[in-house]
Amino acid sequence: MKVRAAISAAVLAISLIVPADAFAYLTWFEFTRQSNIASTLTMAWQYGPGFYGTQSWRAGSGVSTDACWIGHGWLPTGYYDLWGHWNNYDGKIAGRVFYLQNKPCWNGTWRTELFVHSEETAGQGQYCPTAGDDPYCWEGPSDYYSNGCIKVSRAGYPSDLRLVHDGWHGKSGDSRHGYFTINNWLYVRDG
């Protein structure tokens, strides 16, 4: 009898703290800068007051650690809004991409055109026509280098990119694509 009461109480407590849509949690990302090709991207979601879940992946950004170096240094620290998300983006960056707000670095240089992405085609495939470094092909750890964007691996199944992408939709319950804004979607800090 006591056990049944305890279970009922626990179920009641969980039902009170879990949102009505059990699959729509406040979800955001953190990028911890450790090195250009071995930093950590973490997805965090709040499934109740004081209750958080996290999942982390290896990620990279930039070639150098100077955040004021356009097209060369890693992302500046701070909070970023998300400005859009596409599944089949078709440009020099392609496939599943998350578009970040612009950000000034410590001397005021504006860093722009920044994304979270990987190396895949607009159709989310791999295109590896040469023995060298192909832009839509994940060859290995050197692909973590970027001009400033955050990059995750496209290797393996499921790839880290897929886990990031599906994790975002799954945890946030946000299925939007195209241009839209989510406040404070990413926090970049030093590790």
Partner 1 sequence: MSQVLRSKRRRGLTVALVAALSAAGALTIWGAFGAHSAAPRTGPLTIHAGLENPPGAFVRGNGLFAKNGGRSQLVAAVSGAMIGPLSSVAVRSPDGQFVAYNTWQELRTVDSEQSFSKQAIAGGDALGTPSVRIRDDSGKDSLLERGAYSAAWRQDGAIAFVKGVEPQFRAGRSYDGQVVVRAGIHGHDAVWTKEPAHYVVYAWAGNRLLFYRVGLGEKLELLVADAPGSIRSLAEGSAIALSPDATRVAVLSQDATNVRLLDVATGGEVAWLDVTTATPPLAWLAYSGSWVSDHIVAPASAGLAVLHVGSRSLELEQVLSLDRSQFPVGVQVPRFVDADGNEIAASADIPSAKGTEAVSFLLVCDRIVRSCDRGEPAPAKEWLRLVDRTPAANEGGH
Q: Which residues in this chain contact partner 1 in the complex, by CB under 8 A?
A: 63-73, 76-81, 83, 91-93, 101-115, 117, 133, 142, 145-149, 181, 183-184
Q: How far is the CB of 108 from partner 1 (least distance, A)?
A: 5
Q: How far is the CB of 113 from partner 1 (least distance, A)?
A: 5
Nearer to partner 1, 134 or 163 (CB): 134
DSSP per position, 80-132: EEEEEEEEEEESSSEEEEEEE--EE-TTSPEE-S-EEE-S--TTS-----SSS
Q: How far is the CB of 65 from partner 1 (least distance, A)?
A: 6
Residue in 183, 185, 187, 182 with CA at minimum distance from that of residue 79: 187
Q: How far is the CB of 77 from partner 1 (least distance, A)?
A: 7
Alpha-carbon span 160 to 102, nearest angstrom: 25
Which SS3 state, helix, strand or coil, does residue 65 take?
A: coil
Nearer to partner 1, 118 or 159 (CB): 118
Which residues are CB-neighbours of 177 under 8 A, at least 6 positions away?
85, 86, 87
Nearer to partner 1, 80 or 168 (CB): 80
Contact criterion met (CB below 8 Å) for 116 and 39: no
Nearer to partner 1, 42 or 170 (CB): 42
Alpha-carbon span 64 to 58, nearest angstrom: 17
Alpha-carbon span 55 to 45, nearest angstrom: 9
Q: How far is the CB of 75 from partner 1 (least distance, A)?
A: 10
- Cβ count within 10 A of residue 12: 9
Q: How far is the CB of 16 from partner 1 (least distance, A)?
A: 29
Nearer to partner 1, 57 or 145 (CB): 145
Nearer to partner 1, 73 or 167 (CB): 73
